[in-house]
Structure 1
C-alpha cells in the first residue's frame, strides 16, 4: 500500500541529532538496496521532518518516482524545505531544476544562487554542477573562466567528471590559456581512474597526433575501454577504427555493430526508447504459440476477469493471432487488465498511447500508464516514463502526475 505524504505544518518532536543521522543513513542504505517503500516509511517519520537530509532524500524519491508516483511539484517542495534547513543536496537539486526548467520554470538567477550555495559546501559533485552551468551559460553568456575555477576545485578533490571537463577547457583554450600538456595530464589521470569520457578524449588526441606523436594502437585501446562502458562517442570512434583498419584489422561487420550500439547509446530519447522496447515480459506468462487458435479456456478466464488471460487475449485480438482481429476488443481487454493492476498490461497500454498504435497518440495517457507500470517495477517502464516527461510541457506534465495520483487513489 502506498504511503500518502503531505507537507502540512505540524508539531512533531525532533529526534536527537545522533539518532536522526543514523535514521537518515539507514534510509539512504535502504534506497541503495532498492527497497524504496521501506525507505519512504523511514523518512516519513515525524521526528525527521526538520532533518535537512531526510527532506532531500524524500525529494529524490518523488523526483525519480521511486516507491511513489513521480511528482515534480512534491519533489520541489521537499527540496525547498531541505534547502531552507541548510541541505546542500537540496540546494543543488533546486539549482539544477531551475537551470533545466523541467520540474519548475527555468530561472537562471535562482539556479546560480542555489548551485553556488551548494558548491560552497565543498562537495566536489556540486562544484562540478555549478561549473557546468557556468560553462554552458544557463540563461546567458557562458562563463568558462569561472567554470574552470570551480572545475579545478572539484578536480583537486578527485572528481573525475571535473578533471575531464577541465581538461577540455585546457585543450580548447576556453576560460584558460591553451595547455595541451595540462589537458593530457588531466585526461590521463581521469582515464586511469576509469572515466570513459576521459578515455575517449585521450584516444582522440592520439589519433589526431597534433599535440603528441600519433599512436593508433594506444587510441584503439583507449576507445575500447571507454566503449565497454557504453560511451557513445567511443563506440563511434571505435567503429571508425575497425572500418579504416587504424590500430586493428579491418572488420566491417564489427564496425556496423558498434555504430548500432552508438545509436542505441544515444538513447534516452523517447523515439529511441520506443524502438528498443519490445514485448513486455511477465513471469506469469507461459510461452505462447501465437499461430494456434485462441484457447477456449483462456477466453473463458478472460471473460471471468483473470488479468493474465485478459492480457493474453488482448494481444491476440489486437494482432489477429489465432483469432479474427478485433482492435476494440483488444483495447478493452488490455484496459481491464491494466485497471486490475497488472503491471505488464499497464506498460503495454502506455506504449500503445506513446506509439499511437491502436489508440490515439497521447503522451499524457502514456505517462499515466507507464508511471503505474514503473511503480509495479516493470522493467523499462521508468525509462519510458522519464522520456515521456522530457517531451511534455510543464502544465501537461503536472496534469498527468495529478491523474496518476487520482488513479492510484481509485485503485486502493
Structure 2
C-alpha cells in the first residue's frame, strides 16, 4: 500500500486530441510530483508536491499525507500526515476521507473514535472507495460508531464486492452461506468464494473446501475438499493447515506434493461443482 501507482494519474494525461503542432502543455507541480512518485523518486516527489499542496490542491495534500504517514520520501511524520490528510478530507478527497476513517478506527495517532471513523468512512464509501465501503460494512455488522444494521452491512459489502475487493466478496459469501441477514444461498456463496480463490485468496479456497467437505449446496466431495485445503495450506492459511492435519490423521486426506497439487487445481480451475 505504501508504494502504489495512483489511479489519479490517468486524469493527468495531456489531451491526446490536441494537434501535433500544438505547444507542449507545461506540467503543473502536482503533475510533476506524481511523475516523480510513480518513477519512485520519492524525495523529489515530496518536495514537488509540497508546492501544490500549499496551494490547496487536495490531491497533493492526500499524497503528501500518505507519504508522511508511511515515511515515503521523508521521515515518518504522523502529526504532519494527519494535518495533510485532514485538509484533503475536508476538501472532499475520497481517499483522504477513507484514510481518516481508518485512522480514527485504529486510534494510533489520534484518540480512537468509532463515531468519527464511521463519519469519514461513510463519506468515502458514498464517493466510491471500495476499502471504505468494506470497512463501513464491518462497522454496521458490529455496531461500532453506528446502529447495527444488517441491511446496510449487506449493501456496502455488495458495493465493495462489485468493485472486486476480495475481502468484501468473502464476507458476502459468508452471509449467503450461513444465511446471515439474507436468504441462505449456497450457489451464490460458492461463486463468491470461487472468484476470490481464483485471485489467490486462501480464505476463498478454504471456504470452498469446507462446503465440499460438508456438502453444503452440492454433493460431498472429500477429494476436492482436500485439494482446496492443500492449496490454501501451501499459502500459509492456518485454518486449512489445521483441517488438513486433522483429515490426514483421520485418513480422509493424503499429503500431496506441491507440483502434483498445483497441476490438479489448475486443471480443475477451482470449480467446486
**TM tier, shorter chain?**
0.7 to 0.9
Q: Secondary structure at the match of 2:173?
A: helix
1:25 aligns with 2:34: yes
Give the match for residue 60 of structure 1: 66
Give the match for residue 11 of structure 2: none
Considering only CA atoms, is the larger Rg found in Structure 1 or Structure 2? 1
Counterpart of 2:162 (choices 146, 156, 165) is: 156
Would you say the 8 A contact 1:200–1:223 is kept in 2? yes
Counterpart of 1:85 (choices 81, 91, 95) is: 91
Alignment of 1:250-261 (within 5 A): none
Q: CA deviation at 1:56?
A: 1.5
Alignment of 1:29-108 (within 5 A): 29-30=38-39, 33=40, 35-44=41-50, 46-49=51-54, 50-108=56-114
What does the per-residue CA deviation read over 1:287-315, in whole Å, with 9 as the maximum and x for residues that have no partner? xxxxxxxxxxxxxxxxxxxxxxxxxxxxx
Give the match for residue 214 of structure 1: 220
Within 1, Cα distance between the matches of 2:236 and 2:148? 29
Within 2, Cα distance between the matches of 1:231 and 1:249? 16
Within 2, Cα distance between the matches of 1:28 and 1:137? 38
Within 2, Cα distance between the matches of 1:71 and 1:144? 38
Q: 1:21 to 1:197 in 2, by over 3 A?
A: farther
TM-score scaled by length of structure 2? 0.74
Give the match for residue 246 of structure 2: 240
Within 2, Cα distance between the matches of 1:247 and 1:62? 49
Within 2, Cα distance between the matches of 1:51 and 1:66? 19
Q: CA deviation at 1:51?
A: 1.9
Q: CA deviation at 1:202?
A: 1.3
Within 1, Cα distance between the matches of 2:31 and 2:192? 37
Counterpart of 1:229 (choices 229, 235, 245) is: 235
Within 2, Cα distance between the matches of 1:147 and 1:17? 46
Q: CA deviation at 1:58?
A: 1.9
Would you say the 8 A contact 1:203–1:218 is kept in 2? yes
Q: 1:65 to 1:241 in 2, by over 3 A?
A: farther
Give the match for residue 269 of structure 2: none
Counterpart of 1:198 (choices 199, 204, 225) is: 204
For structure 2, list consecutive stretches of 5 or more residues without a partner in the other structure. Answer: 1-24, 258-273
Q: 1:140 to 1:153 in 2, by over 3 A?
A: closer
